[in-house]
Amino acid sequence: MIKNKNVKTFKDRLHTSMQGLSVSAFAKKCDMSETVIRDYLSGKTYPSLTRLEVIAEKCNVSFNWLATGYKLEILNPKDDDEVYNENIYRIPVYKKQLPTKEEAQNQRYVRETPPVMNYPVIEGWASHRGLDIKKLILYWAKGDLMAPDIENNNGLIINTDVNEIIDGAIYLLEYENFTLLRKIRLTLGNWILICNNDQYPTIEVPKAHFEKYNIVGRVVQVIKDVF
């Protein structure tokens, strides 16, 4: 047997709705018999939805409140401008990390394996930071080259709109068939590609070799696991 507290307390809400009227006067107001009203007030029976609607209208109370005890708030369309309701954009994954159609259908990604998915962000976040949301991509970091700032399997939001190199910023680069995540230091005529982890070597790129490196974009946010 299902016990519904809201149904049991209907008689109390009905009594409140009567606003001091006698059973006889209230029954007449709602065009119902006194017996029916007395049965409602005693909890012997409960009204149908149709009769609930009649009682709510005659008593000028909320149908939802009369039936459940809860108030249903309805937003005024005129107040829409005051409602914070921004569009959500899904940042696409870096093209080289996209699975094939077969992998997407059959492979189950497990922990320690970079997941392949889009990442939802609110458009206002990008505009607030001066970013073009359509120029952002998602990259899943691999290994510990940039640890502890960036750990294995951290998600990185990359801004592909690169007009100039910012000294000390972290970039995603492509070199031949390799993808590199490095901090770029600018020196006179050179790029110094730095890892945070001292176990890996620094790469010095002379100006003559700049064109061999395709700068995919700059890291603008790191998405870390908390467990």
Residues 41-83 have pLDDT tens digits of 988 888 888 888 899 899 988 888 888 887 665 556 555 555 5
Distance CA 155, CA 48 (A): 54
Q: What is the mean pLDDT of residues 100-109?
A: 62
Q: What is the mean pLDDT of residues 14-32?
A: 91
In a 13 Å sphere around the CA of 8, the CA atoms on its Cβ side amount to 4
Instruction: Identify the structural domains of the chain with CATH numbers, from first to last.
Output: 5-68 (1.10.260.40), 88-223 (2.10.109.10)
Give the closest residue to 15 by CA, choosing from 42, 49, 47, 46: 42
| Sequence-separated contacts (24+) of 33-37 with Cβ below 8 Å | none
| Sequence-separated contacts (24+) of 163-170 with Cβ below 8 Å | 165/191, 165/215, 166/218, 169/218, 169/219, 170/146, 170/218, 170/219
Contact 61, 67 (CB under 8 A): no
Distance CA 137, CA 156 (A): 8
Taking the whole predicted model, whether its pTM rises above 0.75 is answered as no
pLDDT, residue 165, reads: 93
Contact 169, 218 (CB under 8 A): yes
Residues 111-165 have pLDDT tens digits of 445 556 788 888 888 888 899 999 999 999 989 999 888 999 899 999 999 989 9
Distance CA 180, CA 193 (A): 9
Distance CA 129, CA 122 (A): 12
